[in-house]
Amino acid sequence: MSLVKKRILVVDDAATVRMYHRAILESAGFTVAEAVNGIEALEKALQTPFDFYLVDVNMPKQDGYGFLRELRQQDIPQAPAVMISTQAQAKDRTKAYVAGANYYMTKPIKPQDLLAVSRLLLGAGEVQTS
């Protein structure tokens, strides 16, 4: 892994979900920040862009779709974003991709799946052997 840790922003209004994702990602060596809604997430991204975004769909004030649409319009380095939701229908996936998501995952997310997708989208998808 590179000397610079990849920075991930976890955006979810549920504290338990943020802590769950943070624990998984930090255990793999990523630096994790959190936001409780799209407005807070955009403020943080504009201060210091992240390498990766893990974004919930349903949040108060600004949902994940609104956040990604606004993020993608900013003149900052763009990074991959994964939209996460309890909604599993094709129309939900399509809406996420139109908003700017690179991938869509349905909750609950298994730790190994979250890490595999994160590493792949961050370009760190090498197979590690012991």
What is the greatest pairwise CA distance in the chain? 45
Q: CA 32 to CA 44: how far, in whole Å? A: 12
Q: Is residue 41 part of a domain?
A: yes
- CATH of residue 84: 3.40.50.2300
Residue span of the structural domain in which 42 resides: 7-121
Q: Is residue 128 assigned to a domain?
A: no
pLDDT at 61: 93
Mean pLDDT value across residues 30-52 = 96
> CB neighbours (10 Å) of residue 65?
21
Is the pTM higher than 0.75? yes
Q: Could you tell me if 5 and 29 are in contact, meaning their C-beta atoms sit under 8 angstroms apart?
A: yes
pLDDT band at 64 (very low <50, low <70, confident <90, very high): very high
